[in-house]
Amino acid sequence: MSLTHKFAELVRAIEPQDGAAQTMPLVPLRKPRQIPDADSLRDHLQIALELELSTLPPYLTAMASIVDGTNLDVSGLIRSVMMEEMLHMVLAANVLNAIGGNPVLAKKGVAPEYPTALPDSDGSFLVSVEPLSLGAIQTFMRIEQPTPKHTPAKADGYATIGQFYAAIMEAIVRLSKKGEIRFDHNPGRQVSPSDYYNGHGNVIRVHDSYSAIEALKEITHQGEGNDDTIFESGHVVDGVGYELAHYYRFMEINLGRRFNEGDTPESGPTGALLPVDWSSVKNMISNPKRGWFTADDPRGKLMDECNHSWAMLLRELQAGFRGDKQGIHRAIPWMMKLKYQAQALMNVPSGIAGMMLGPSFEWPEEV
């Protein structure tokens, strides 16, 4: 049989026979699963908390890997994003607390093991604890990637963080209309602007569905921008200009150029050069693990100390989100210490491929 005949036979085989088309069952188009009830909404807000948390170690490590006194602009940009991720945790916790949830941070398994997919995402990319590099910055951009217009909200297996928060916001509106959620739980736990100050963005107390939406919008706008603009939603910082959304701050580093006022996502950055010295970075091994070393190895002990600070940071934050608001203030020195300990590890040879150690952000066994 010639190839042409074979092809014709194949076409006949898959073409529906007379009348068959009507009886073939149609595969129903599945609507993305919505967040069904209050319990599920609380679960998703806990995941939001974990999602914001999971970005801290990669950002902190990239910043700590910069050789002291070099790449000041890059370090400042990453630091500014990191401080806002802290704010995002505060905002997510405020929403979670208002609807009667209980934020969990200080527990093994809440913070991910690296490399990791973003919590509950579609797993299309992995995030590592690694030194600053072009690749790392591009991963950061992927984390903060804007959601294209008309993209459906997605509660589970999201491709962008915006999709995930859109699903949460949709559920908040729907469930509060149906009277299935209230926002008056544990008002004493609401973190307010007077409890938390870092100069980046607004702390919003959540007491109704409007303030809940406002808090979540603050998160997505800071991350990916808003309505085709590179800026956060109109934030004037110190009266000197607008603040870039995280995605575009990382884009500045990626392209080595600053944005100008008037630039758009399409134009890209047209401002001054942003020189990045990719070689003034510690030669740290990616995703180091405590388990590489025996219990009494001094390198392992140094990693233990670093992980202790990580655990303390999580404990203090959790306390801060559960009514002991001073916990948030107590968490900051631990974060700074964590950075210094990470920098110390980056001076210590790992014994592998001539590379240095780094922080592993593991939950210590003894805590």
Please state the closest distance from residue 365 (CB atom) to another protein, in A: 20
Please state the closest distance from residue 120 (CB atom) to another protein, in A: 31
The smaller minimum CB distance to another protein, of residues 102 and 198, is found at: 198
Dihedral of the CA atoms 10, 15, 20, 23 (nearest 10)?
110
275 near another protein (CB under 8 A): no
207 near another protein (CB under 8 A): no
Positions 329 through 358 that interact with another protein (CB under 8 A): 329-330, 332-337, 340, 343-345, 347-349
**Other Cβ atoms closer than 10 A to 38:** 18
- The residues facing 241 across adjacent strands are 237
The smaller minimum CB distance to another protein, of residues 18 and 296, is found at: 296
7 near another protein (CB under 8 A): no
Please state the closest distance from residue 109 (CB atom) to another protein, in A: 25
| Long-range contacts, stretch 150-159, CB < 8 angstroms, 24+ apart | 152/32, 153/32, 154/32, 155/32, 155/33, 155/34, 155/35, 155/44, 156/33, 156/120, 157/120, 157/121, 157/122, 157/123, 158/120, 158/121, 158/122, 159/121, 159/122, 159/124
299 near another protein (CB under 8 A): yes
Q: Which residues of 349-365 are buried (b: 16+ CB within 10 A; e: fewer)?
A: ebeeeebbbbbbbbbbe
Alpha-carbon distance of 353 to 50, in angstroms, equals 33
Alpha-carbon distance of 299 to 41, in angstroms, equals 42
Residue 318 φ/ψ, nearest 5 degrees = -60, -45
Please state the closest distance from residue 314 (CB atom) to another protein, in A: 15
Alpha-carbon distance of 253 to 195, in angstroms, equals 32
Please state the closest distance from residue 197 (CB atom) to another protein, in A: 7
The smaller minimum CB distance to another protein, of residues 213 and 342, is found at: 342
The helix (run of H) or strand (run of E) holding residue 224 is helix 209-224
| Site pattern 58..77 for another protein (x: CB under 8 A) | ----------xx--------
Please state the closest distance from residue 293 (CB atom) to another protein, in A: 10
The smaller minimum CB distance to another protein, of residues 255 and 332, is found at: 332
Asked if 304 and 364 count as a contact pair (C-beta separation under 8 A), the reply is yes
The smaller minimum CB distance to another protein, of residues 47 and 331, is found at: 331
The smaller minimum CB distance to another protein, of residues 20 and 72, is found at: 72
Alpha-carbon distance of 327 to 88, in angstroms, equals 16
The smaller minimum CB distance to another protein, of residues 214 and 297, is found at: 297
36 near another protein (CB under 8 A): no
Please state the closest distance from residue 310 (CB atom) to another protein, in A: 13
The smaller minimum CB distance to another protein, of residues 76 and 333, is found at: 333
| Site pattern 96..135 for another protein (x: CB under 8 A) | ----------------------------------------
What is the contact surface with another protein in residues (CB under 8 A)? 68-69, 197, 298-299, 301-302, 309, 312, 329-330, 332-337, 340, 343-345, 347-349
